[in-house]
Chain A
């Protein structure tokens, strides 16, 4: 079978699996966020932490819940790393340096999972499990909760209550993330992923040389790393490491895991707003974008253009068992979601394919986006698209029976402007510093791409990297840490304010003049707006980096 045919069959199987889970998982999640009933374990949990599950929250209270919870999460994760020598199963790996611990704490709480350390020599089992695995689950649950609050903004009318953060967080954890993670982890175990509490195993090869292979509690973290679109590897090589991703089957399963919740969220949205085609249209935009970017990256990577790239047949930074199509499929999926796990090194991709992974993040990660965050991103773009359409015909825009007035458009505009501002200011500042040149692993246009990629990854809470860049300096640890913080929480505030504003409105009835938002035309409008916004914002920066490299 030819490489291309095998690769295409793999894509077809992936799409079939996603299609099979779309309706059941999407509807299940809609029920989770609409149900009035608590599970017994949840009720017990609410009593234990003294939460009144029946009380609805205004958006500022909901937002303070998100911020307060994330703050204590960052503090706890920072302390766990700093106090590692006192923790069991640390294997003498010592206290994590303050700047690394700061960066890592923010990184995992913001669902970024950017890593500026080598896990197998830096972190022991306790920090991995009680610190990182926990935030892999909870940061995804926070994303789901905020998305649920935004959907309620459209569903509800004439109320200032958008739900209860503690209830949403608990349900997202107990009913969605944990059960799916257990199933996924067992699947990964069956496929050969490691799960060990030992620090490593010694092997003595045919040449009588002894090597220590580090081990880790992999499967549990791997499952939620992919399902929660987190992406932080328990090994430095991430999903390229055979202990995290041993074969073609585990690889496809991991790609499936990172896509399944974001894809199903569009169904959740459609179901909750009472018109499933509303979700289908948004999914079509996401899918078209994913497919188009996959095609471009696939073509670029099978037609390498640099002298070294040609000499190495595009295999530098790829595993034999994955080859080109499987690596590209993973790369496009990990940057289209906010995952950032890698099964191959994006830094060694061709200019075209590397540029696609970068662009995928700069589009705001909506193909199909992170857990919760992807749906939020595409809804905000839909609002901007409606606003532009309204301007064209001179009519107050509305979406799903809610008028998009000054407030709503203002919050949506903040959402789409914050990320580019962080990326461009951050990358511009970094590239102006003389010390940055020493941090780069490659020269010329590709060196610039390394910096742009780092800030794009941080601000979009992706976590993948053009990993040749050395980011252990205090400047990069702090700047990227702040980029992750603002990229997450300013956006969360804008979204919750938007949700509050929408929920307060009365519903307006659709008239003959209303643009139908469950039809293909609307999908074209949303897709066009998405590309327009990103192109206008990032074309100059992309021209200096990946475009220059691809056309060289």
Chain B
């Protein structure tokens, strides 16, 4: 009995070593090799957007921009991140994750109320007009998207602060909006990283 176990274990060890090479080195490196193909390599390296040789963001991750002067805030803001220091504000990108707070949590209710009040004040609207995704922390804390409702809510302020016409800002929002994939997969989204870059470009023109 014990000798069988010993024999089987040593066979197992030999096989494990072979499989570690096959599944742990060869397999990932083959996939990595495929990922070097032009067209795949940019998304494989994080879908970074480059301007003048500098990576200015990732089109699949958004980190909330901080305005130099909160009274003249020219940015579209992301959803809240559970990893940020305050109830709103940039995520700690060294990690990822959410609050894990339940629907009956009094902590969460308080946080959501604070966010709703802050956003309503920032946008000059009533708290009831702030959409749900604007006050709820995402699952990753790095959500690149906001709902079209939240983008529309911020468009007024962005137009006012940047001096762009409302029509121009609405056009930029529309450009950054994606419908559901194939018309029915996932949800309609507005990409915040791309939208803020487009606004910055429009201002620079």
Residue numbers of A with Cβ under 8 A of B are 1, 3, 5-6, 9-10, 13, 45, 48-51, 60-61, 64-65, 67-73, 76, 118, 120-121, 129-131, 133-134, 137-138, 165-166, 169-170, 173, 178, 181-182, 185-186, 189-190, 192-198, 201-207, 209, 211-215, 217, 219-221, 223, 235-237, 240-243, 246-249, 251-252, 304-323, 326, 342-345, 347-351, 354, 441-446, 466-468, 549, 552
B102 touches A65 (CB 8 A): no
The 7 closest A-B pairs by CB, nearest first: A248-B186, A309-B103, A313-B132, A306-B103, A468-B100, A68-B9, A248-B185
Produce 1/0 per residue, B112-149, CB < 8 A to A: 11001000000000000001110111111111111100
Shortest Cβ gap from B16 to chain A (Å) = 5
Residues of chain A lying within 8 A (CB to CB) of residue B24: 129-131, 133-134
B11 interface residue per 8 A CB criterion: yes
Shortest Cβ gap from A89 to chain B (Å) = 11
A203 touches B28 (CB 8 A): no
B139 touches A237 (CB 8 A): yes
Residues of chain B lying within 8 A (CB to CB) of residue A76: 16, 20
Shortest Cβ gap from A164 to chain B (Å) = 11
How many contacts between A and B, using CB within 8 angstroms?
A: 387
- Given known contacts A308-B109, A467-B97, A319 and B143 CB-to-CB distance under 8 angstroms: yes
Residues of chain A lying within 8 A (CB to CB) of residue B196: 205-206
Chain A, Cβ-Cβ closest to B54: A204
- For the complex, give the distance between the alpha carbons of A60 and B43 in Å: 49
Shortest Cβ gap from B82 to chain A (Å) = 9
- Given known contacts A189-B35, A204-B54, A322-B187, A61 and B8 CB-to-CB distance under 8 angstroms: yes
Produce 1/0 per residue, B25-48, CB < 8 A to A: 101101110110000100111111
B164 interface residue per 8 A CB criterion: no
Residues of chain A lying within 8 A (CB to CB) of residue B152: none
B102 touches A446 (CB 8 A): yes
- Given known contacts A185-B31, A236-B95, A315 and B133 CB-to-CB distance under 8 angstroms: yes
- For the complex, give the distance between the alpha carbons of A467 and B183 in Å: 32
- For the complex, give the distance between the alpha carbons of A306 and B104 in Å: 4
B25 touches A205 (CB 8 A): no
- Given known contacts A10-B184, A118-B95, A242-B140, A170 and B15 CB-to-CB distance under 8 angstroms: yes
B4 interface residue per 8 A CB criterion: yes
A190 touches B40 (CB 8 A): yes
- For the complex, give the distance between the alpha carbons of A235 and B136 in Å: 21
B9 touches A320 (CB 8 A): no
Residues of chain A lying within 8 A (CB to CB) of residue B9: 64, 67-69, 71-72
Residues of chain B lying within 8 A (CB to CB) of residue A219: 31, 35, 44
Residues of chain A lying within 8 A (CB to CB) of residue B57: 203, 205-206
Residues of chain B lying within 8 A (CB to CB) of residue A201: 45-46, 48, 55, 58
Shortest Cβ gap from A176 to chain B (Å) = 12
Residues of chain B lying within 8 A (CB to CB) of residue A246: 43, 47, 60
Residues of chain B lying within 8 A (CB to CB) of residue A121: 94-95
Residues of chain A lying within 8 A (CB to CB) of residue B75: 206-207
Residues of chain A lying within 8 A (CB to CB) of residue B55: 201-204
B144 touches A182 (CB 8 A): no
Shortest Cβ gap from A117 to chain B (Å) = 11
A69 touches B32 (CB 8 A): no
Shortest Cβ gap from A453 to chain B (Å) = 11
Shortest Cβ gap from A298 to chain B (Å) = 15
Residues of chain B lying within 8 A (CB to CB) of residue A49: 11, 14-15, 18
Shortest Cβ gap from A201 to chain B (Å) = 5
Residue numbers of B with Cβ under 8 A of A are 1, 4-5, 8-16, 18-20, 22-25, 27-28, 30-32, 34-35, 40, 43-48, 54-58, 60-61, 63, 65-68, 75, 79, 90, 93-106, 108-109, 112-113, 116, 131-133, 135-147, 180-187, 189, 193, 196-197, 199-200
Residues of chain B lying within 8 A (CB to CB) of residue A69: 8-9, 12, 15-16
Residues of chain A lying within 8 A (CB to CB) of residue B5: 64, 67-68
Jot down 16 A-B pairs with beta carbons below 8 A, ordered by A. A68-B10, A118-B95, A120-B95, A134-B24, A192-B47, A202-B55, A207-B65, A248-B180, A304-B103, A308-B112, A312-B103, A316-B108, A319-B140, A322-B187, A442-B101, A468-B100
Among A193, A235, A323, point to the contact of B186 (Cβ < 8 A): A323
Interface centre among B11, B56, B57 (most CB of A within 10 A): B11
- For the complex, give the distance between the alpha carbons of A181 and B31 in Å: 10
B28 touches A64 (CB 8 A): no
A1 touches B183 (CB 8 A): yes
B139 touches A48 (CB 8 A): no
B94 touches A468 (CB 8 A): no
Shortest Cβ gap from B113 to chain A (Å) = 7
Among B56, B99, B136, point to the contact of A313 (Cβ < 8 A): B136
Chain B, Cβ-Cβ closest to A7: B184
Among A195, A347, A442, point to the contact of B44 (Cβ < 8 A): A195
A73 touches B16 (CB 8 A): yes
Residues of chain B lying within 8 A (CB to CB) of residue A198: 45
- For the complex, give the distance between the alpha carbons of A443 and B102 in Å: 9
Among B23, B32, B60, B132, point to the contact of A138 (Cβ < 8 A): B23
B187 touches A321 (CB 8 A): yes
Chain B, Cβ-Cβ closest to A301: B103
- For the complex, give the distance between the alpha carbons of A113 and B58 in Å: 28
- For the complex, give the distance between the alpha carbons of A396 and B75 in Å: 74
Shortest Cβ gap from B119 to chain A (Å) = 13
- Given known contacts A308-B109, A318-B138, A189 and B40 CB-to-CB distance under 8 angstroms: yes
Shortest Cβ gap from A405 to chain B (Å) = 25
A182 touches B27 (CB 8 A): yes
B23 touches A133 (CB 8 A): yes
- For the complex, give the distance between the alpha carbons of A61 and B106 in Å: 55
- Given known contacts A192-B60, A252-B185, A549 and B31 CB-to-CB distance under 8 angstroms: no
Residues of chain B lying within 8 A (CB to CB) of residue A237: 96-98, 139-142
- For the complex, give the distance between the alpha carbons of A343 and B132 in Å: 18
- Given known contacts A68-B5, A552-B104, A319 and B96 CB-to-CB distance under 8 angstroms: no
- For the complex, give the distance between the alpha carbons of A195 and B28 in Å: 9
Among A186, A214, A247, A345, point to the contact of B31 (Cβ < 8 A): A186
- Given known contacts A214-B93, A237-B141, A351 and B104 CB-to-CB distance under 8 angstroms: yes
Among B46, B139, B181, point to the contact of A215 (Cβ < 8 A): B46
Interface centre among A13, A45, A129 (most CB of B within 10 A): A129
- Given known contacts A76-B20, A205-B57, A236 and B44 CB-to-CB distance under 8 angstroms: no
Chain B, Cβ-Cβ closest to A549: B104
- Given known contacts A49-B18, A319-B145, A351 and B61 CB-to-CB distance under 8 angstroms: no
Residues of chain A lying within 8 A (CB to CB) of residue B146: 320
